[in-house]
Chains A and B, each alone.
Chain A
Amino acid sequence: MAKSDNMLTKRIVPCLDIKNGRTVKGVNFVDLRDAGDPVILAKQYADLGADELVFLDIAATLENRKTMHDMVLKVAEQVNIPFTVGGGISTVEDVDDLLHCGADKVSINSSAVKRPELINELSDKFGSQCVVVAIDAKQVNGEWLVHLAGGTIPTTIKLFEWAIEVEQRGAGEILFTSMNHDGTKAGFANEALAKLSELVNIPIIASGGAGNIQHFVDTFNIGKADAALAASVFHFGEIPILELKEALFNNGIPVRI
């Protein structure tokens, strides 16, 4: 279905992996006194023109939860753009806590696959606008299958059927990561992304495969994505956000500059 033209901009979303309240994988895109402090980094990204941020709690243990709440509170206190928190969220209470700390949206993944009713419960209680369903999928023999636990556990669930179901259950957005593309720096899974955009009527965030500016142009033009998420290309300054946005603008893609 053709979507009408509008001025809503395409979003650029840096993703920060968090463990014990600190960013992992290293970040090195500007001179920062403490590149491991997610709050300092988040502020920096907001100032550089990021449209939104995602914090992924990769440890996501029970002991770690308090640390995560403290971090969310500090980010909300100091950062003036929206942010999503994901990792280890499996109950309505988890979400209630995070939203109370100031998160704008939460992202659920394995817990939604294990108990799809969670999506309904969250969207009924908090509104679909704050419910992001993250889907990790891998193309195996031509078929896109949903994977769990950071892409390590395969399921027999088909990506496109699952996407339609999460929309019907009240997801406000889908964060789609292609396991085939993640880490390759060879571009996003544009074919699957375009099909997702055709099948569902909620925004799609593209994730996995960002390596250069053209990949972002392609994921918006060909993949029809509403937002593009990346980590290392931003963290290591390989793609400065302002330069990226100018390039997108010059390619006729609406962006906030």
Chain B
Amino acid sequence: MKLSIVNYGAGNIKSIQFAFQRLGHKAVLTDKPEEIINSDKVLFPGVGEASSAMLKLKQSGLDVLIPTLKQPVLGICLGMQLMCKHSEEGDTAGLGIFDVNVKRFSNKVKVPQMGWNTISNLKSELFKDIKEKEYMYLVHSYYAEACAESIAITDYELPYASALENDNFFGVQFHPEKSSKAGEQLLKNFLKL
């Protein structure tokens, strides 16, 4: 299986590579369009700030490529947020793959949300053999609103979409690569899509 990680210089991807390595798969870091197009599965990670990450995507033309991909694509953390319509972070226009906006948590809660929280209302093959209210590891200050494309809901200040799905596109706010056995199961499920 050819597995690629979209390389646009946004954050630490080592953990994602290692997580797939533990599952016996090699994930290749690449920014080459043909390599990404010809992969069986594509991972779109990201940590850091939305507007600067979006700028990097644009500079490499990956912002045009990603929405046209036909194979299963998994956005993780900021990757998922960039796949949405718009983010309040840096007033950033996203890729518009998911029809939802990204907003900032208010100061009624500690920001960032950092740690393990539950996912529920699970509605996707991505969550096969993962139980309702399973714990996943999250670190984020912005969230996607609950919407028609939500396939998991997490509650922090308010119920929000901690995972999204639209056709072949999937996004998770949490870090499956850091979420112990449940996270591993999710990555296995993604490989089987």
Q: Scan residues 33-73 of chain A and give those whose CB is less than 8 A from a CB of chain B.
A: 46, 51-52
Instruction: Tell me if B49 and A78 are in contact (CB < 8 A).
Output: no
Q: Which of chain B's residues has its CB closest to A202's CB?
A: B110
Instruction: Tell me if B139 and A80 are in contact (CB < 8 A).
Output: no
B residues in contact with A212, CB < 8 Å: none
- Specify which of A6, A11, A80 is in contact with B178 (CB 8 Å cutoff): A80
- Specify which of B14, B19, B115, B155 is in contact with A80 (CB 8 Å cutoff): B19
Instruction: Tell me if A202 and B116 are in contact (CB < 8 A).
Output: no
Instruction: Tell me if A129 and B117 are in contact (CB < 8 A).
Output: no
Q: Mark B78-90, 1 if CB is under 8 A from A, else 0.
A: 0000000000000
Return A176 CB to nearest CB of chain B, in Å. 14
Tally A-B pairs: CB < 8 A. 109
Instruction: Tell me if B15 and A81 are in contact (CB < 8 A).
Output: no
Kindly state whether residue A77 has any CB partner on chain B within 8 Å: yes
Instruction: Tell me if A203 and B110 are in contact (CB < 8 A).
Output: yes
Return B182 CB to nearest CB of chain A, in Å. 10
Known: A4-B109, A6-B156, A202-B111. A102 touches B18 (CB 8 A): yes
A residues in contact with B11, CB < 8 Å: 126-127
Kindly state whether residue A115 has any CB partner on chain B within 8 Å: no
Kindly state whether residue A140 has any CB partner on chain B within 8 Å: no
Instruction: Tell me if A172 and B18 are in contact (CB < 8 A).
Output: no
Q: How far is the CA of A6 from the CA of B160 in the complex (A)?
A: 12
Q: Scan residues 5-36 of chain B and give those whose CB is less than 8 A from a CB of chain A.
A: 11-12, 14-15, 18-19, 21-22
Instruction: Tell me if A9 and B117 are in contact (CB < 8 A).
Output: yes
Q: How far is the CA of A123 from the CA of B79 in the complex (A)?
A: 18
Instruction: Tell me if A173 and B114 are in contact (CB < 8 A).
Output: yes
Kindly state whether residue A130 has any CB partner on chain B within 8 Å: yes
Interface of A is mostly: loop
Instruction: Tell me if A82 and B22 are in contact (CB < 8 A).
Output: no
Kindly state whether residue B177 has any CB partner on chain A within 8 Å: yes
Instruction: Tell me if A7 and B155 are in contact (CB < 8 A).
Output: yes
Instruction: Tell me if B12 and A77 are in contact (CB < 8 A).
Output: no
- Specify which of A1, A78, A80, A128 is in contact with B184 (CB 8 Å cutoff): A80
Instruction: Tell me if B12 and A3 are in contact (CB < 8 A).
Output: no
Instruction: Tell me if A129 and B47 are in contact (CB < 8 A).
Output: yes
Q: Which of chain A's residues has its CB closest to B135's CB?
A: A256
Known: A81-B178, A127-B49. A8 touches B108 (CB 8 A): no
Return B12 CB to nearest CB of chain A, in Å. 5
Known: A80-B22, A202-B110. A8 touches B15 (CB 8 A): no
Instruction: Tell me if A8 and B113 are in contact (CB < 8 A).
Output: yes
Q: How far is the CA of A6 from the CA of B154 in the complex (A)?
A: 9
Instruction: Tell me if B110 and A100 are in contact (CB < 8 A).
Output: no
Q: How far is the CA of A227 from the CA of B113 in the complex (A)?
A: 12
B residues in contact with A103, CB < 8 Å: 12
Extra contacts, 14 of them, besides A8-B117, A127-B11 (Cβ < 8 A), are A3-B108, A3-B110, A6-B117, A9-B115, A51-B116, A77-B18, A78-B18, A80-B183, A81-B180, A101-B14, A129-B112, A172-B139, A202-B111, A226-B110
The 9 lowest CB-CB distance pairs between A and B, nearest first, are: A102-B14, A127-B48, A256-B135, A129-B139, A256-B116, A99-B12, A8-B117, A82-B178, A6-B156
10 sampled A-B residue pairs with Cβ under 8 A:
A4-B108, A9-B115, A9-B117, A80-B22, A80-B179, A100-B12, A104-B12, A126-B47, A201-B111, A256-B116
